Every structure is written in structure tokens, then in C-alpha cells.
């Protein structure tokens, strides 16, 4: 099962907009949950993380009703949602408040995520993180260490003009590798910040093999735990950085 957290700069987005993502995963045998969460100006950091943790806890409490396995739950996010997923997977405070821990997850998937973005340059995001009084330990890179062992898939568009892939995706991947965290990194050409997630849609899958790569990661990690998914996928050849083709 995948819990998908959508992006939108923490101030926009609705789960209804990501039906295509749910279809893309469910059609391959992966149960998918897409929760809504409170956004700015209703809330600021860290309330949306608390909402996300509550949603993950709900999944663990109800997963059997949908034929899922609590030992096989993945957390996935795009853009701001990838930040949220990273924080829940790396910082034990959020899931811990719900009686879970990052180790409860089989793996996590971050696509085009901001993981190291202070000082904030986008004015509409600044108040969400209390600019200029940024909360301490509120960046995913702050939590990389010996305990960050949940397997990870990090994907980004090489030409992402909204979230710098070199500083964020490649930077976090480098830190996680240094900490011995098992993971896969993919940098895609032919897509941008939005079309990276759009490439899950049937009509856009030709743009980049991101859906295929994510499903392969889920299948590999599920099988390594002794849990077989309905997705048939070849093992990932390398768990280090590799570049995907946009065609």
C-alpha cells in the first residue's frame, strides 16, 4: 500500500486532482491512499505534518479492511508532499506521536522534493515556515544519520526550475548514502517539476519511466521483506544514482 501526499507549496491541492496517480499505482496492484491535509493560511508548519501522520496511522489501523499488509506500507510524495513524506520517514516525532515510527514504513518515495531549502526565496511560502524565524530541525537533511535506514527512492527532473534537484534530491541522496541508507536515485530528462508526477498518467507515460521505476522499487522492497505484490518487476540493477531517459 502507498500513502501519497500531494504537493502545492503547502497552500493548495486536493486529493481529487490526483486520481490519475491512484489509478497508475492501483492498476499495477498497489493499494493507494491519498489523504487531504490542512493548508496555509489555515495552518503553518508543523500542523500539516501532524495531519499526514494522522493519515498514516489511519492506514495502519484500517489496512486489513482493504486487503493490505501493515508490513508493506510505503509513503510517497511529490514536491511539498515529498518534503512531508521525508519528514515523516526521517524525523521520528511525527509518527511517534501516533504510536508508530519511521521503521513502521517499508520504504518512502520522494519526487521533486524540497529537502534543504532555507532561506526561503518564494514569498508565498515564507510565512508557512515562519520566515525569518525558521523552526529548528525542520528540514529533512537535519535528520540523516545512523537511524535513517528506511529504504528510499528519490526522483527528480534534471531541469526542475522550481526545486533545485542538485541541492535537494542529489544533496539528500548523497547524505543518505553516506549514512548507509539503502536507496535508489533517479534524475530524469524530458520532464519538469510538474510533468514528473504527470508522467504517471496514461497519456504522459512516454515522457519518463518514473512510474515503472517507482513500481520496481516497491516490488523489490516488498519482496525483500518476504511480501509479494501484484507488480511484476525486475530487480533494480543499482541502488546508487542512475539517470533515467526521458524518451
Q: How many CB atoms lie within 10 A of CB 245?
A: 9
Q: Which domain holds residue 230?
A: 2-244
Burial 174-196 (b: 16+ CB within 10 A, else e): ebbbeeebebbbbbbebbbbebb
Q: How many CB atoms lie within 10 A of CB 240?
A: 11
User: Is 227 or 100 the better-scoring residue by pLDDT?
Assistant: 100
pLDDT, the chain, mean: 91
pLDDT tens by residue, 121-151: 999 999 999 999 999 999 999 999 867 789 9
Of the pLDDT bands very low, low, confident and very high (cuts 50, 70, 90), residue 237 is very low
C-alpha cell, 22? 491512484
Residue 51 confidence (pLDDT):
98
pLDDT tens by residue, 49-99: 999 999 999 999 999 999 999 999 999 999 999 999 999 999 999 999 999
Q: How many residues are recorded in the chain? A: 247
C-alpha cell, 136? 529548528
The CATH number of the domain where 107 resides is what?
3.40.50.1820
User: Is 229 or 184 the better-scoring residue by pLDDT?
Assistant: 184
Q: Are 21 and 3 in contact (CB under 8 A)?
A: no
> Among candidates 32, 19, 15, which has minimal Cα distance to 81?
15
User: Is 118 or 224 the better-scoring residue by pLDDT?
Assistant: 118
Give the side-chain half-sphere CA count within 13 A for 13.
25
Taking the whole predicted model, whether its pTM rises above 0.85 is answered as yes
Number of domains in the chain: 1
What are the beta bridge partners of residue 157? 188
* Residue 227 scores a pLDDT above 80: no
Task: Kindly give the residue spans of alpha helices, DSSP state H, lying in 19-128.
Answer: 19-26, 47-62, 80-90, 92-96
Amino acid at each position: 500500500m502507498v500513502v501519497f501526499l500531494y504537493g502545492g507549496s503547502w497552500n493548495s491541492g486536493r486529493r481529487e486532482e490526483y486520481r490519475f496517480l491512484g489509478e497508475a499505482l492501483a492498476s499495477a496492484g498497489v493499494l493507494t491512499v491519498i489523504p487531504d491535509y490542512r493548508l496555509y493560511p489555515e495552518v503553518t508548519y508543523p500542523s500539516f505534518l501532524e495531519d499526514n501522520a494522522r493519515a498514516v496511522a489511519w492506514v495502519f489501523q484500517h489496512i486489513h479492511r482493504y486487503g493490505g499488509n501493515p508490513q508493506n506500507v510505503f509513503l510517497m510524495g511529490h514536491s511539498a508532499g515529498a518534503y512531508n513524506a521525508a519528514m515523516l520517514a526521517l524525523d521520528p516525532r511525527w509518527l511517534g506521536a501516533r504510536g508508530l515510527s519511521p521503521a513502521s514504513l517499508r520504504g518512502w518515495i520522494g519526487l521533486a522534493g524540497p529537502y534543504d531549502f532555507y532561506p526561503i526565496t518564494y514569498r508565498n511560502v515564507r510565512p508557512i515556515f515562519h520566515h525569518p524565524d525558521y523552526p529548528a530541525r525542520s528540514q529533512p537533511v537535519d535528520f540523516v544519520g545512523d537511524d535513517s535506514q528506511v529504504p528510499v527512492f528519490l526522483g527528480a527532473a534534471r531541469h526542475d526550475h522550481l526545486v533545485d534537484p542538485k541541492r535537494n534530491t542529489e544533496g539528500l541522496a548523497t547524505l543518505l548514502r553516506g549514512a548507509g541508507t539503502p536507496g535508489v536515485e533517479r534524475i530524469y530528462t524530458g520532464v519538469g517539476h510538474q510533468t514528473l508526477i504527470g508522467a504517471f498518467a496514461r497519456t504522459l507515460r512516454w515522457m519518463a519511466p518514473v512510474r515503472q521505476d517507482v513500481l520496481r522499487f516497491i516490488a523489490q522492497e516488498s519482496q525483500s521483506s518476504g511480501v509479494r505484490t501484484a507488480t511484476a518487476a525486475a530487480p533494480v540493477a543499482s541502488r546508487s544514482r542512475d539517470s533515467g531517459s526521458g524518451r
